[in-house]
Structure 1
Amino acid sequence: MTSFMPLERAVAENLKDGDTVAFEGFTHLIPTAAAHEAIRQGFKDLTLVRMTPDLIYDQMIGMGMAKKLVFSYAGNPGVGLLRRLRDAVENGYPRPLEIEEHSHAAMANAYEASAAGLPCAIFRGYRGAGLAEVNPNIRSVACPFTGETLAAVPALRPDVAFIHAQKANRRGDVLVEGIIGIQKEVVLAAKRAVVTVEEVVDDFAGLHPNLTVLPSWTVTAIAVVPGGSHPSYAHGYYDRDNAAYLEWDRIAADRETFRAWMQENVLEKGADAFAARVAHLRKAA
């Protein structure tokens, strides 16, 4: 059954050194507060998995937490590079980083394969692409019925997945609205799942087709963290903080500036700081 607990405890009880971990969110509902808590607790030797690594993985890599990155796109959305990621790949700073690059289709299918209890994902993809030449986990199989050559990748089964969502009810069910990305699949694929939410409600009202409800049995722990996806947005709660993404490019470009920002804004501040960060972004009720 789902347990409600403070974020600090949820991270400490579910994430361990050496884990394969996914902090998923597709431009929306990115679990920033959870990532910052992991940074404060100083985990090491993580394999970071995510369809679209952006600022939080740049921060975790820059803090030396990751030994490997499994991904299908990496960048500061709308701005450009992830400079701490690039420094790790090109210069081994603050530690060397192994990378395993896939397509979006491969990542989505790999999560779904794990959720279904399958060892690999088989799909049409990578035709004419060069990724298979540098990624030995991209292989091909012949369809036993048609003979067609199909792509195959290993199932992705993180030790723990972190996502952010709008609401949980008191039973521990989780409501995700707006752009859902791969959050549902990663929760179902992972051994353990931690969800941060904007609020807890008695029940969900006004349901419409563009949402996902994760039942309580799919979720290990829930932590209430208003503003927990800043600087990304939470549909119905606050907008994307575009200025923060632009500013990150300057911060991450210099090693010392990066470390100073992380000390002031992450290491010295807890999850309770997030609500204040989104105060000026909240939509009128």
Structure 2
Amino acid sequence: MQYAAGAALPVGADAIAFGRELLRQGRRNLHALFHCNSQQSNLLAGAGALDKLECGFSGLEGFGFANGLRRAVESGQLLLEDYSNLAMPLRFLGGALNWPFVPTTTCIGSDIQHFSAYAPDEVPARGKIPPVRDPFSGREIGALSPLRPDLAAIHVTLADPRGNGILIGSEWSRFELSRAARRVVLIADHIVDTDCMRQYPNLVRIPDVIVEAVVWWPFSAWPAASPGVHDADETHMKRMNEALGSAEGTAAYLAEYVHGYADLDAYLALIGEDNRRALADTATAFLLDPYRRWFLPRERIEALAAANLAGTSARNAATEVPA
């Protein structure tokens, strides 16, 4: 399965909790598509869940190189296909527009064009960014393959129960990804009343018509940041990346921080109440002030989820064919 996640910088706005859940369910052999490697793809690679990864940046900025990713690539377990930070959103855009290929002038003449993890013995690689002729100028440019992932798990700051989403902070390619993916799941810090979306329709970058499901999961970006909601947990970012540097460290990390909780309350307890309070005391908290009046309380969110689950079960029962 081709799996993509929506993230901004490697240290923010990625639904890392969704990656943890993929591991909890034993998902393997994923072909991951990330604009930027994040702690999610670092974790999935280190845990052995990926066999292919295409991304435009592979580090973790101030937290060092991604050790889980490095170990998976160097062991030969994972094929890493490298692109630029411009090429990846262009490929998502091409998928969103259903183009057969994406004309490009980025990466041309570089090692990114000439070397492919999928054809390591073919240099220059003919099939990665093949040359095409501009019919208007006659200039030779490149052709990028469009991306249409099977599933995109996109972190959003605010979502309503219908699936409309608002992003706070740098967007990167989450807009293009939401249109390119065959199925889209939003993982939201806050669930808001739909009146919030009606008040700010110009800010709804992901509309409900393309969304498969909405998941309310506070601190889903932890230990990375969610602008306006919480800062990065720098101590855990370093600890996590260090653990992913070895098989033994990864196994211990998975036992505690992937398989060590059963529900949302246990997950939040794992982060720690005092730690969550400190992380939420962020200088960017004012960004959420215009929307707070529409935040739905937990009991309302859980009631909506229960009603939705009951409705789904009833619909499934109604469509069952007797033996």
TM-score, normalization by structure 2:
0.76
Match of 1:98 in 2: 79
Q: Give unmatched runs, 5+ long, in structure 1.
A: 1-18
Alignment-mate amino acid for residue 115 of structure 2: V
Question: Helix, strand or coil: the match of 2:63?
Answer: coil
- C-alpha distance in structure 1 between counterparts of 2:175 and 2:262, whole Å: 27
Q: CA deviation at 1:227?
A: 1.0
Task: Report which stretch shifted further, 72-81 or 217-226.
Answer: 72-81
**1:60-99 alignment runs, 5 A limit:** 60-92=44-76, 96-99=77-80
Q: Does 1:245 align with 2:243?
A: no
More strand by share: 1
**1:103-252 alignment runs, 5 A limit:** 103-135=84-116, 136-202=127-193, 203-204=195-196, 207=200, 211-252=203-244
Alignment-mate amino acid for residue 231 of structure 2: D
Q: CA deviation at 1:101?
A: 1.0
- C-alpha distance in structure 1 between counterparts of 2:261 and 2:5, whole Å: 20
Contact 2:132 2:143 survives alignment (8 Å): yes
- C-alpha distance in structure 1 between counterparts of 2:38 and 2:164, whole Å: 28
- C-alpha distance in structure 2 between counterparts of 1:282 and 1:225, whole Å: 15
More helix by share: 2
Q: CA deviation at 1:271?
A: 5.3
Question: Helix, strand or coil: the match of 1:177?
Answer: coil
Alignment-mate amino acid for residue 61 of structure 2: P
- C-alpha distance in structure 1 between counterparts of 2:33 and 2:224, whole Å: 18
- C-alpha distance in structure 1 between counterparts of 2:268 and 2:175, whole Å: 25
- C-alpha distance in structure 2 between counterparts of 1:77 and 1:45, whole Å: 27
- C-alpha distance in structure 2 between counterparts of 1:282 and 1:223, whole Å: 20
Q: CA deviation at 1:233?
A: 1.5
Contact 1:122 1:150 survives alignment (8 Å): yes
Match of 1:45 in 2: 29
Q: Deviations over 1:107-166 (max 9, x none)?
A: 111000110111211122123422111133112211101112222111000000011111
Question: Helix, strand or coil: the match of 2:135?
Answer: coil
Q: Does 1:262 align with 2:259?
A: no
- C-alpha distance in structure 2 between counterparts of 1:108 and 1:229, whole Å: 21
Q: Give unmatched runs, 5+ long, in structure 2.
A: 117-126, 286-323
Question: Helix, strand or coil: the match of 2:281?
Answer: coil
Residues 249, 35 of structure 1: alpha-carbon distance in 2 compared, 3 angstrom cutoff: closer
Alignment-mate amino acid for residue 36 of structure 1: R
Question: Helix, strand or coil: the match of 1:198?
Answer: strand
Q: CA deviation at 1:226?
A: 0.9
Where relative contact order (Cα < 8 A, 6+ residues apart) is larger, the structure is 1
Contact 2:163 2:186 survives alignment (8 Å): no
Contact 2:157 2:188 survives alignment (8 Å): yes
- C-alpha distance in structure 1 between counterparts of 2:72 and 2:226, whole Å: 30
Residues 73, 176 of structure 1: alpha-carbon distance in 2 compared, 3 angstrom cutoff: same
- C-alpha distance in structure 2 between counterparts of 1:128 and 1:257, whole Å: 40
**Residue identity (%):** 27
Contact 1:225 1:271 survives alignment (8 Å): no
- C-alpha distance in structure 2 between counterparts of 1:34 and 1:249, whole Å: 18
Q: CA deviation at 1:172?
A: 2.3
TM-score, normalization by structure 1:
0.86
Largest Rg, 1 or 2:
2
Which runs of structure 1 show a deviation greater than 6 angstroms over 4 or more consecutive aligned residues? Answer: none
Contact 1:236 1:283 survives alignment (8 Å): no
